[in-house]
Structure 1
Amino acid sequence: MVPKVVFGQGCFDQLGSILAPQRKDKAPFIFLVDDVFKQNKDLLDRINLRFNDKLLFISAEEEPKTTQVDQIVKDIKAEFTYKPSGIIGIGGGTVLDLSKAVSIMLTNKGSAADYQGWDLVKNKAVYHVGIPTISGTGAEVSRTTVLTGPVRKLGINSDFTPFDQVVLDPELTIGVPKNQWFYTGMDCFIHCVESLNGTFLNAFSQSYGEKAYDLCKEIFLDEGLPDEESRGKLMMASWHGGMSIAYSQVGVAHAMSYGLSYVLGTKHGIGNCIVFDHLAEFYPKDVALFKEMVKQHNIDIPKGLCSNLTEAQLNTMIDIALSLVPLWENALGENWEVIMTRDKLKELYLKM
C-alpha cells in the first residue's frame, strides 16, 4: 500500500515541505511532468525547483513504453553522478506509470522489459511521489506500472512499484477535456465492475470497489459535468477503485484493451470503453449502466477499429490478450480457456 497520502483542494502547495526531509546532499529530485503543462506558468512556479533539480516534460500522446523508460534512466544517469533523491510524477496514468518504472530502473539492472510480470523486481526503487492531474486510472495507488514492451503490453507488478507518497489535489484536474474526463472516469468504473464480479474478490477489495462504484454512479449519472465537489469525488473513486484491484484483479475489458493498445496504440481509457461497450454477455447490468452514462454525456465511442485488420494483426491482438492469465482467471474462473477461445476473442474484436 502507499504509505503516505495527502488529499484536498490546494494540497499541491505542500509538496516542498513533503520533499524536504527526503532530499539527499547534492542529489536532485527529477520531476516528470505531462507536457500539457508546458505553458502553465502557475503550476510550474508552484513546483519550486531547488538546487540542481531537473524537470522533464513527458508526452502522454502514446502509452508508456519500456524503451522510453530505459532512455529516461540512461539520460538521468548520464547527467548526474548522484542517484536522485527521488522521482516526482505529475500527470495522468502515462506519466505516473513512467515515474514508477523509472524509479525502479534506477536501482535495478537491465531493461524495463526484463521486469514485465509479477514480482520480478529485486531492489527497492528510489523514493517516488505520484501527483495525478486526471482521475480514474488508479495509477496513483496500484502496485503495477503498465508498459508496452518489445513483445507484449504488461505491467511491472511488484511490492516496490507503489509510490512512497501521493498528493491528491482535485484542483489539478480543472480543465481536463470532457471526453478525456469521461474515458478516464470509465477506467475507474470498469476497475470496480471487474473487481466486484471477479473470482478473486475478497472483503477488502469489495469494500473499496463498492465505494468507488457508488461514487462513479453519482458522478456520471446524477451530477453532470465536473464541479469542485465532483472533482473531489472522482479523485476518491479513482483511489478506491485502484485499491480494489490492487487486492483482487481486473478482467475481460482490461485483457482485451491491452491487445488493442499493443496493436493499434489505442489509449487505455478509451480502449477500455471501446471493449466494455461489447461485453454485455459478461457484465450485463454494468454495460447497461455504461451505455446510459455514454448517452447522458453525449460521448462518442469509436467504432470499426478492427474491421480492416490483417489476420496477423488480429492474431497478435489475441495473443496479447490471452497472455494475461490472472485477468482471465479472475473474470471467468480456473476453466477460463474453455470459455474464452481464440475464436470467441476474434468474434468480439471484430465487433469493435
Structure 2
Amino acid sequence: MSFRNFPMVPRVVFGRGSFNQLEEILESKRTNEKSPFIFLVDDVFKGKESLISRIPLNQKDQVIYISADEEPKTVYVDAIRDDIVKQFSDVPSGIIGIGGGTLLDYAKAVALMLTNPGSSADYQGWDLVKNPAVYHVGIPTISGTGAEVSRTTVLTGPERKLGMNSDYTPFDQVVLDPELLDGVPKNQWFYTGMDCYIHCIESLTGTYLNAFSQSYGEKSLDLCREVYLEKDEIDEDSQDKLMMASWHGGMSIAYSQVGVAHAMSYGLSYLLGTKHGVGNCIVFDQLEEFYPEGVKEFKEMVVKHGIDIPKGLCKDLTDEQFDTMIDVALSLVPLWENALGADWQKTITREKLRSMYEKM
C-alpha cells in the first residue's frame, strides 16, 4: 500500500506584531538586485499606510493591488504573470500574498505560473504542476479559508472551478499576525470563519477520516465553537483563536477532503460568482440531511451573531444555468466520495442536486 507523502509549510511565524519581521525573513531570499519581490495585496488596503508603510520595499520591489471582490480566475492569474514577465528580465525573488483566501490563492498561483508554461487553466486538477514555484509567502489578513496552509489554489477557469492541487503549491513561509485581522467587517468575519467550521464538519464526518485529519479537525472545531458560540464580539483572544482554527482546519483536510457544501458552493461560485465563504454558508444552511448536528449548530451561530444568510439566488435560473452548476458540482468526485462513500452517485443524482439548488 502506498501512502501520500504530503508537503507542509516549512516555516511559520505566529504572534501579534510578527508582520514586522517580514524584512528579516525576506532578506536572505533575494536572489539578486534585478530580481524583485512582488507583493500581491488586497486593494482594500490601498492608501492605508498603517499596513502599506510596513511592507519592506527595496530596489525594484513592487506592490500590485488586487481586488478580492471576485473569486480568483485563471485569466487574471495569467495576466498578472504576463505583466511581471514583461516588466522584469529576471524571475522574481519571491511572491508575497497579503490578504484573505483570494489573495493567498493568487500568490500561490502566480508563483507557480512563473516557472510553469502555458495557462493556469492547464493545471486545474491534481498533481499536474511539474516545476517548483518561485519562493512564496502567505500573510493572511482574515482567517478561515485555510489557504495559508493548503496544497491547493482554487481558481475559476473557462470550464471549471478547481484548484491547482500540487506538492509545489504550499507556501514556503507563512506569517500569522492576528493584529492584521483588525477592522474586518462582521459579515466577512463570519462567512470566512464558517468556511473553517464547515471544513471541519465535512472532514470529521467523511469517509476519508483518519487520525491525522481528526486530530487537526477536532482542535479547529473546538476553537471555532469558542469564537462563534462563546464570544459576543471580535476581541484579541478570538482573533488569535480563529487564526489558529484556520490553520488547523486547513491541515485537517490535507489528508482527507471536504464534502457536500464545498462541492455545491463551487457550482454557485462558477455560475454566479458567489464568494466562497458566503457560498458555503448558503449551501450548508440547507444540508440538514447530510450534516444534521453541524447545521443545527451553524444556525445557532447565525442567530447569535445576527447574520443574514442570502436566499433566493437560484429562483430565476434557467435549465441551462442549473445544468452548468450541476456539472461543476458533479465533477468534484473526491468531495462526494468523502461525504457519501464510493456509491455516492446512488444518492446524488442530477435531479437531487437540482432540487437542492432550488432551495438556495
TM-score by length of 1: 1.00
**RMSD across aligned C-alpha pairs, in angstroms?**
0.4
The whole-number CA distance in structure 2 between the counterparts of 1:99 and 1:224 is 33
Which string of whole-angstrom CA distances, capped at 9 and with x for unpartnered residues, describes residues 104-155 of structure 1? 0000000000000000000000000000000001000000000000000000
Partner of 1:315: 323
Q: C-alpha distance in 2, partners of 1:279/1:311?
A: 22
| 1:16 correspondence with 2:9 | no
Amino acid at match of 1:147: L
CA distance in 1 between counterparts of 2:141 and 2:192 reads: 11
Task: Decide which of 41, 51, 55 is 2:49's aligned counterpart.
Answer: 41
Report the counterpart of residue 70 of structure 1 in structure 2: 78
Q: 2:40 aligns with which of 32, 35, 42?
A: 32
Q: Report percent identity of matched pairs.
A: 72
Secondary structure, in 3 states, of the residue corresponding to 1:137? Answer: coil
1:98 and 2:106 correspond: yes
Partner Cα distance (1:232, 1:226) in 2 = 10
**Alpha-carbon distance, 1:224 to partner:** 1.6
What SS does structure 2 have at the residue aligned with 1:141?
coil
Count of aligned pairs between the two proteins: 352
- The correspondence of residues 169-184 of structure 1 with structure 2, limited to 5 A, is 169-184=177-192
C-alpha separation in 2, matches of 1:185 and 1:252? 18
Residue 230 of structure 1: how far off its partner (Å): 0.6
* Residue 208 of structure 2, aligned match among 200, 208, 212: 200
Q: Structure 2 matches for 1:1-352, cutoff 5 A?
A: 1-26=8-33, 27-352=35-360
1:336 Cα offset (Å): 0.4
Q: Which amino acid aligns with 2:230?
A: D
In structure 1, runs of 5+ residues without a counterpart are: none
1:223 is displaced (CA, Å) by 1.1
For the residues of structure 1 that align with 2:250 and 2:342, how far apart are their CA atoms?
24
Separation of aligned partners in 1, 2:357 and 2:146: 25
Alignment deviations for residues 1-56 of structure 1 (CA, whole Å, 9 cap, x no partner): 00000001000000000000101112100000000000211211110200110100
Quote the Cα distance in structure 2 between the aligned partners of 1:321 and 1:42. 41
Counterpart residue type for residue 216 of structure 1? C
TM (norm. structure 2) is 0.97
Question: Using the alignment, how far apart are the partners of 2:48 and 2:253 within structure 1?
Answer: 33
Secondary structure in 2 aligned to 1:309? coil
- Between the aligned partners of 1:153 and 1:225, the Cα distance in structure 2 is 34
Runs (4 or more) in structure 1 with deviation over 2 Å come to none
Where in structure 2 are there 5+ consecutive unaligned residues?
A: 1-7
The residue identity in structure 1 corresponding to 2:29 is: Q
Deviation at 1:225, TM superposition (A): 1.5
